[in-house]
Amino acid sequence: MREGIRLYLRYISISARGQMQYPASFILLTISGLLATGGEFLGIWALLHRFGSLKGWTLPEVALFYGIVQIAFSISDATSRGFDAFAAMLKRGDFDRVLLRPRSSALQLAGQELTMRRIGRFSQALAVLLWSASALGAIWSPAKVGLVVASILGGACLFFGLIVLQATLAFWTTESLEIVNTVTYGGVETAQFPLTIYRPWFRRFFTAVIPLAFISYFPALAILGRPAPPVLPWIAPLAGLLFLLLALRIWQFGVRQYCSTGS
């Protein structure tokens, strides 16, 4: 396990170094990412500024949702490129090479790239989160801070799991996998607002099928001191981790299928 982590760190340090060889490009792309995501939040701010509140939720509260989800997504977006580009790798026939190495295929794909420029989105979302934290004032405790971190990590696991599922689909269909993109990007759009504003069937989908509610809504209830079922908000981020583990299990199944049917 520790050895796997060491290999992973080596992989991503190589990837990061490679990208930093082109500093100007990196800076530009990062700034652009920052602006793009900053602009999105600007829109949210503008709406709240005009409408006053969103079904009873204030701007700092919405910003909490936004910050958690966007940071989680930027982490997974930065680390999941190997899986994201897997369909192309499969088509080129390069996956056999991965299998010829005495390591798990998931580890190798995870280590393929650390997309450094996602730090644009990351820092913008972090800024929003920090602002929200200060705007929310005296509600914080070490436990709640821990819950925010757990939610972020759980969210990163969940989004990563979605990309793994998208990659697994590539074993069976060569068609565009936009469906998963829809759920991923759509999920980010959705979860950056409190779930109560959506129609019931929507809420149910993002609670039961894709457990987004568990890494944003339920923890936020506890953090913001709103009525919530006991215990649940504090262990909810685990749902993200469980989702990822399930996705990896399905991935292993996909790899086995690939080995028995050939390319």
CA 63 to chain centre: 17
Residue type, 220: A
The closest alpha carbon to 64, from 121, 139, 150, 132, belongs to 132
Q: What is the per-residue DSSP string for 26-72?
A: HHHHHHHHHHHHHHHHHHHHHHHHHHS-BTTB-HHHHHHHHHHHHHH
Q: Of the two residues 23 and 137, which places its CB atom closer to another protein in the complex? A: 23
- For another protein, the binding residues in 3-32 under the rule CB under 8 A are 3, 6-7, 10-11, 14, 18, 22, 24-25, 28-29, 31-32
Q: What is the DSSP letter of 21?
A: T
Contact assessment for residue 167 and residue 86, using Cβ atoms and an 8 Å cutoff: yes
Number of residues that bind another protein (CB under 8 A): 58
**Rounded CA separation 166/178 (Å):** 9
Report, in Å, the least distance between residue 214 CB and another protein. Answer: 19
Q: Of the two residues 42 and 145, which places its CB atom closer to another protein in the complex? A: 42
Cβ-in-10-Å burial (0-12, 13-18, 19+) of 56 comes to exposed
Q: Site map for another protein, 144-183, x if CB under 8 A?
A: --------------------------------x-xx-xx-
Report, in Å, the least distance between residue 140 CB and another protein. Answer: 26
Q: Is 97 in the site for another protein (CB under 8 A)?
A: yes
Q: Hey, what are 6's tokens?
A: 């060491």
Q: Is 186 in the site for another protein (CB under 8 A)?
A: yes
Report, in Å, the least distance between residue 222 CB and another protein. Answer: 22
Binding residues for another protein (CB under 8 A): 3, 6-7, 10-11, 14, 18, 22, 24-25, 28-29, 31-32, 35-36, 39-40, 42-43, 46-47, 49-56, 93-94, 96-97, 99-104, 176, 178-179, 181-182, 185-186, 189-190, 193, 197-199, 202, 259-262
